[in-house]
Amino acid sequence: MIALLLILIPLLSGLIAFFLRTGNAAKGWALLSSFATVAVSILGLTILSKPELLQFKAAWLPGLGSNFSVRLDGMGQLLCLLTAISFPLIFIATWSRQYKNAHNFFGLMLLSQAGLMGVFLAMDALLFYFFWELALIPVYFLSSIWGAERRIAATFKFFIYTFIGSVLMLVGLIYLQSQTADRSFDIDAFYKIVLDNKTQNWVFWLMFIAFAIKVPVFPFHSWQPDVYEQSPTAVTMVLSGIMVKMGLFAIIRWLLPVLPYSSFAYGEKMIAMWTIVGMIYASLLAWRQDDMKRLIAYSSIAHLGLMVIAIFSETELSMQGAMLQMFNHGINILGLWVIVEILERKYGTRKLSELGGLAQKAPAMALLFVVVALANIALPLTNAFVGEFMMFTGIFTSPISEYELFTVPAAGITIILGAVYTLRMIQKVIYGNTNPLTETGTDIGYNEKLVLGIIVIMIIAAGVYPKPFLDLTKDTTDLILKEANIIPVLVK
Amino acid sequence: MNALIISALMGVVMMFSGILLKQRSAIRGVALAGLFAAIVLNIAETYGFHLFKVDIKNMMHFDRFALFFNTVAMICTFIFFLLSAKEMEKVGLNYADYFALIFFIICGILLSSSFSSLLILFLGIEIISIPLYILTGSDKKNLKSNEASLKYFLLGSFSTGLMLMGITFIYGDAGSFIVENITSLSTPDAKPSILLIAGLLLLMFSMAFKVSAAPFHFWTPDVYDGAPTVFTSFMATIVKAAVFIAFIRLFNYGFYGIHESWKFIIAIITALTLFIGNITAVFQQSVKRMLAYSSIAQAGFMLMAVLALNSFASEGIILYTTAYSLATIGLFAILVKMKDYTFEGFNGFAKHQPLLAAAAVIFLLSLAGIPLTAGFLAKFYMIKSVLDSGGFLWLVILAVLMAAVSVYYYFRVIQAMYFKDGEAQAMEISVSFKGVIIAVAALVILLGIFPQLLLNWLYF
**How near does any CA of chain A get to the CA of B399, in Å?**
10
Nearest chain B residue (CA) to A100: B351
Nearest chain B residue (CA) to A59: B450
CA B252 to chain centre: 19
Closest to B288 measured CA to CA, from B208, B353, B231, B240: B231
Judging contacts by C-beta atoms under 8 Å, the chain A residues touching residue B411 are 156, 159
pLDDT digits (tens, 9 = 90+) for A210-234: 999 988 888 888 888 888 888 888 9
Q: State whether A171 and B396 contact (CB < 8 Å).
A: yes
Judging contacts by C-beta atoms under 8 Å, the chain B residues touching residue A177 are 384
CB neighbours of B157 closer than 8 A, spacing ≥ 6?
A: none
**How near does any CA of chain B get to the CA of A13, in Å?**
18
Contact A374, A277 (CB under 8 A): no
Judging contacts by C-beta atoms under 8 Å, the chain B residues touching residue A163 are 404, 407
Closest CB from A152, A160, A174 relative to B407: A160
One digit per residue, pLDDT tens: chain A, 492 residues?
Answer: 888 889 999 999 999 998 888 888 888 999 999 999 999 998 888 887 788 888 888 888 888 888 899 988 888 889 999 999 999 999 988 888 888 888 889 999 999 999 999 999 999 999 999 999 888 999 999 999 898 888 888 899 999 989 999 999 999 999 999 888 888 899 888 888 888 888 888 899 999 999 999 888 888 888 888 888 888 889 999 998 899 899 999 999 999 889 888 888 888 788 888 889 899 999 999 998 888 888 998 998 889 999 999 988 888 888 889 999 999 999 999 999 998 888 888 888 888 888 888 888 888 888 898 999 999 888 888 888 998 999 988 888 888 777 778 888 888 899 899 999 999 998 888 888 878 777 777 788 888 888 899 999 999 998 899 888 888 888 888 888 888 776 555 544
Q: State whether A62 and B452 contact (CB < 8 Å).
A: yes
- CA pair distance A20, A92, nearest whole angstrom: 19
Judging contacts by C-beta atoms under 8 Å, the chain A residues touching residue B420 are 152
Q: How many residues does chain A have?
A: 492
Side chain identity at residue A216, one-letter code: P
**How near does any CA of chain B get to the CA of A178, in Å?**
7
Burial string for A2-17 (b: 16+ CB within 10 Å, else e) reads bbbbbbebbbebbeeb
Judging contacts by C-beta atoms under 8 Å, the chain A residues touching residue B410 are none
Judging contacts by C-beta atoms under 8 Å, the chain B residues touching residue A137 are 365, 370
| A185 HSE (CA, 13 A, CB side) | 28
Report phi then psi at A186, rounded to 5.
-65, 145
**How near does any CA of chain A get to the CA of B125, in Å?**
33
Domain-wise residue ranges, chain A: 265-492
Judging contacts by C-beta atoms under 8 Å, the chain A residues touching residue B316 are none
Q: Residue B451: is the preceding peptide bond cis (ω within 30°)?
A: no
- CA pair distance B327, B239, nearest whole angstrom: 15
Q: State whether A159 and B401 contact (CB < 8 Å).
A: no
Query: Bridge-partner residues for A351, per DSSP?
Result: A291
Nearest chain B residue (CA) to A131: B371
- Which of A21, A140, A171, A231 has the most B C-beta neighbours within 10 Å, making it the best mutation to test the interface with B? A171
**How near does any CA of chain B get to the CA of A191, in Å?**
20
Nearest chain B residue (CA) to A161: B404
Side chain identity at residue A465, one-letter code: Y
Closest CB from B376, B383, B419 relative to A145: B419
pLDDT digits (tens, 9 = 90+) for A300-312: 888 999 999 998 8
- Which of B344, B362, B372 has the most A C-beta neighbours within 10 Å, making it the best mutation to test the interface with A? B372
**How near does any CA of chain A get to the CA of B449, in Å?**
8
Closest CB from B370, B384, B404 relative to A164: B404
- Which of B407, B409, B413 has the most A C-beta neighbours within 10 Å, making it the best mutation to test the interface with A? B407
Q: How large is the ipTM?
A: 0.91
Nearest chain A residue (CA) to B399: A167
Residues of chain B with pLDDT under 70: 186-189, 460
Instruction: Look at residue B52 and give its three-state secondary structure.
Output: coil
Closest CB from B365, B376, B397 relative to A171: B397
- Which of B406, B419, B421, B447 has the most A C-beta neighbours within 10 Å, making it the best mutation to test the interface with A? B419
- CA pair distance A119, A139, nearest whole angstrom: 15
Size of interface A-B (CB pairs under 8 A): 67
**How near does any CA of chain A get to the CA of B240, in Å?**
26
Closest CB from B388, B408, B451 relative to A61: B451
pLDDT score of B382:
93
pLDDT score of A492:
43
DSSP code string of B216-228: S-THHHHHHHHS-
Burial string for A452-469 (b: 16+ CB within 10 Å, else e) reads bebbbebbeebbeebeeb
Closest to B104 measured CA to CA, from B127, B122, B124, B125: B127
